[in-house]
Amino acid sequence: MRVIAGEKGGRRLLVPRGRGTRPTSDRVREAAFSMLDSLGVVEGAEVWDLFAGSGAMGIEALSRGASHVTFVEQARGALSATRANLARLGYGPGRATVVGVDVLGWVSSRAAALDSGRRVAETPQGRSAGEALGRVREGERNVDLVMADPPYAWQGWAALLAGLAAFEPLVLAETGEELVLPEGWQALRSKQYGGTVVTLASPREADGAPTVPSEDDQRARAAEGTGPNEQAPTSQQTRKVRKAQQ
């Protein structure tokens, strides 16, 4: 296994021993990042690599210019491989954080902290709303892109996406079959590569519109001669996508 492209392109990666981890193949990683690069959402992004395994997906993001990646993984062997790969490639604490905990529990705690900060910000206390929410964000990094590759038999997608919705990220999901998204989410792109289905999803706005234009929407706008920059940004990801398209 190797890094596909970017500043560390071609460098070899260690893979956890045993059958408990299913590393993403080079072919699927290349296809997934081609999907992301078409939207310009990797460079400068804050990324979460959930069920990180060897860390290959998050390391690929770092190699392609992501600002910081948080790797979340519970298996000891996979954690060791992730840490070893980061050390070999020279990605230290300023670019990468490795967390050895349960993914759902970790995401839920981040969502709860964000919600708590927002509720405090809405109360008439002796601090401005910006200060209240800013304190939360100092300890809880915002996230632009979430990559999740759990075991194919995993049944926690609804709970995971419910927790992630508060952050309004783009989510790149790897599954063994078509991912059924819960209400409030839209699949922007979905393609199958052998036994792996890669889905790029985004939460919808309150009015039901997707926070990022779907592939069909982009084609329709191109046919009409109207680009995505002609509409006001509605979310953090939309602003990032549209800035990249300028």
Per-residue pLDDT in tens (0 to 9) along the chain, 246 residues: 899 999 999 999 999 876 556 677 888 999 999 999 999 999 999 999 999 999 999 999 999 999 999 999 999 999 999 999 999 999 999 999 999 999 999 999 999 888 776 665 556 654 555 555 454 444 455 899 999 999 999 999 999 999 999 999 999 999 999 999 999 999 999 999 999 999 999 998 754 544 555 555 555 544 544 343 333 333 455 444 544 444
Residue 179 · residue 157 · CB < 8 Å = yes
Q: Which domains does the chain possess?
A: 26-106+143-245 (3.40.50.150)
b/e 121-156 (16+ beta carbons within 10 angstroms → b): beeeeeeeeeebbeebeeebbebbbbbbbbeeeeee
Contact 54, 78 (CB under 8 A): yes
Q: pTM for the full model?
A: 0.79
